[in-house]
Chain A
């Protein structure tokens, strides 16, 4: 049965289209995740330093800045991907629902289930069927119930706005889809395990404008149920899709605030210069 089926940290409910509830911990309503004085180093080289940034429910947070400024480093630290990076050390805290994900007792696998990530290039398993691509995460934790897998697959594909395009060929390989469809398939796979936060690392940089537009529409739909963080080099895209924007430069968070404010009247001179193309 679907109801309250435990997935080692994730909960699949019948009302799967509303997986997240607002939390009001730390006295900050709507904050799902938060970094506090987060510093990531690669050996002696500092990737990001002292980053404190809130990630809110039902909001899209865009991270912008020139190449090498630490956006992706910061993003990857939000689901402990640096655990598998050699020489990488992380200090400070990342709170998810008020709990530090870097606490020694926290299992990073659980964190990665709660914090899904979409990469720059679509990452479907090319020979695996579309269906198996979507439910790969569930199968990995031992879910075998076919009815449940079917329902989760349909729900995730619908959420990723891909179902209508692939419903008649769920057994076709993931690699047979177009680039834009593959990226939405990657998103569906991330959604299937019902994460709380979705991280997107330049999710449209390898897509054509039409596919990019579909992903942007999808982000707009998904934010109703998830907290989303997106790294993008496309300033117009960041302006279109996000509610809050953080500007990174040389590993520091220079400015964070509402996107409208940042784009019309940034408080910091460096943000102004980056946005107007004076550097970067």
Chain B
């Protein structure tokens, strides 16, 4: 085995793990903020959140460079190729989750004063908790070779979509007749943005789960119905365990 190639792949994998830890930390901060119900964050924490977001962006570029170098210099094949591709896809999705987390934080801190937000805080918090779980499990599925976590993530995406629809309906219902008031309209839009961003974070988690399945099984299941591919995925991969 080429030590240089192995080291390059391990380094890329390690960087994606660090990036994943940073993202999960950001999501935990966001979750704590919502769970506390206060929607207040110390300025030091806010600063750290923004700095972490910058670090996440830097990791995205670093991982992209590592990906290009591995492909051009080491030409990986088979499971090594799939791992490198999965890690690259993971880094792109993680970066987007980081952007969304920062956007959600900004809006939450902007609208914290308004009473309307309190009516939705529990639902948003629950939605975020489930999404965070999806992100965490999709990442773990890749690094722990756990197909079950990936399937769990894919299945929960439908639940998030359903919550999203219900939330939008609830927001409209609550604000019916008050949308001529500019403050109410602004809050309505902001809550809608938060909910949509959480829903999109869940979509990124499903992308990560799909990348993980590509690595683990060599199957590209993007844009496929999970119920139809689930039984296929649970089959053992021919004689690889010989």
Seen from chain A, the residues whose Cβ lies within 8 Å of a Cβ on chain B are 235-236, 239, 263-272, 275-278
Given contacts A267-B237, A269-B241, 9 further A-B contacts (CB under 8 A): A263-B77, A264-B218, A265-B82, A265-B217, A266-B78, A268-B238, A268-B242, A272-B79, A276-B77
In the complex, how many angstroms separate the beta carbon of A160 from the nearest chain B beta carbon? 28
Q: Which residues of chain A are within 8 angstroms of B240 by Cβ–Cβ distance?
A: 267-269, 272
Seen from chain B, the residues whose Cβ lies within 8 Å of a Cβ on chain A are 1-2, 5, 75-82, 217-219, 237-242
A263 close to B239 (CB less than 8 A): no
Q: With A264-B218, A277-B5 known to touch, is A272 a contact of B239 (CB < 8 Å)?
A: no
CB-CB nearest in chain B for A278: B1
B5 close to A272 (CB less than 8 A): no
B2 close to A277 (CB less than 8 A): yes
In the complex, how many angstroms separate the beta carbon of B73 from the nearest chain A beta carbon? 12
A263 to B81, CA, bound (A): 9
A263 close to B78 (CB less than 8 A): yes
A264 close to B82 (CB less than 8 A): yes
24 contacting pairs across A/B (C-beta < 8 A)? A235-B77, A236-B75, A263-B77, A263-B78, A264-B78, A264-B218, A265-B78, A265-B82, A265-B217, A266-B78, A267-B240, A268-B240, A269-B241, A269-B242, A272-B79, A272-B240, A276-B1, A276-B76, A276-B77, A276-B78, A276-B79, A276-B80, A277-B2, A277-B5
Q: Which residues of chain A are within 8 angstroms of B78 by Cβ–Cβ distance?
A: 263-266, 271-272, 275-276
Q: Which residues of chain A are within 8 angstroms of B237 by Cβ–Cβ distance?
A: 267
A275 to B241, CA, bound (A): 16
B238 close to A277 (CB less than 8 A): no
A236 to B77, CA, bound (A): 9
Q: Which residues of chain A are within 8 angstroms of B77 by Cβ–Cβ distance?
A: 235, 239, 263-264, 275-276
Q: Which residues of chain B are within 8 angstroms of A236 by Cβ–Cβ distance?
A: 75
Q: Which residues of chain A are within 8 angstroms of B82 by Cβ–Cβ distance?
A: 264-265
Q: Which residues of chain B are within 8 angstroms of A275 by Cβ–Cβ distance?
A: 77-78
A263 to B76, CA, bound (A): 9
Q: Which residues of chain A are within 8 angstroms of B218 by Cβ–Cβ distance?
A: 264-265
Q: Which residues of chain B are within 8 angstroms of A239 by Cβ–Cβ distance?
A: 77
B75 close to A264 (CB less than 8 A): no
A272 to B242, CA, bound (A): 12
A239 to B240, CA, bound (A): 21
A235 to B2, CA, bound (A): 14
A55 to B179, CA, bound (A): 72
B1 close to A277 (CB less than 8 A): yes
CB-CB nearest in chain A for B242: A269
Q: Which residues of chain A are within 8 angstroms of B76 by Cβ–Cβ distance?
A: 276
A264 close to B81 (CB less than 8 A): yes
CB-CB nearest in chain B for A263: B77
Best-surrounded residue of A235, A265, A270 (most CB of chain B within 10 A): A265
A278 to B77, CA, bound (A): 12
Q: Which residues of chain B are within 8 angstroms of A271 by Cβ–Cβ distance?
A: 78
10 residue pairs, one from A and one from B, having the closest CB atoms: A265-B218, A267-B238, A277-B1, A275-B78, A275-B77, A263-B77, A269-B240, A272-B78, A276-B80, A278-B1
A267 to B5, CA, bound (A): 22
Q: Which residues of chain B are within 8 angstroms of A267 by Cβ–Cβ distance?
A: 237-240
Q: Which residues of chain B are within 8 angstroms of A264 by Cβ–Cβ distance?
A: 77-78, 81-82, 218
Q: Which residues of chain A are within 8 angstroms of B241 by Cβ–Cβ distance?
A: 269
A239 to B77, CA, bound (A): 10
A155 to B2, CA, bound (A): 44
CB-CB nearest in chain A for B241: A269
A276 to B84, CA, bound (A): 13
A272 to B239, CA, bound (A): 11
In the complex, how many angstroms separate the beta carbon of B158 from the nearest chain A beta carbon? 28
CB-CB nearest in chain A for B5: A277
Q: Which residues of chain A are within 8 angstroms of B239 by Cβ–Cβ distance?
A: 267-269
A276 to B9, CA, bound (A): 12
In the complex, how many angstroms separate the beta carbon of B84 from the nearest chain A beta carbon? 11
A265 to B240, CA, bound (A): 10
A263 to B218, CA, bound (A): 11
A15 to B1, CA, bound (A): 49
Q: Which residues of chain B are within 8 angstroms of A276 by Cβ–Cβ distance?
A: 1, 76-80
Q: Which residues of chain B are within 8 angstroms of A272 by Cβ–Cβ distance?
A: 78-79, 240
Best-surrounded residue of A235, A239, A267, A277 (most CB of chain B within 10 A): A277
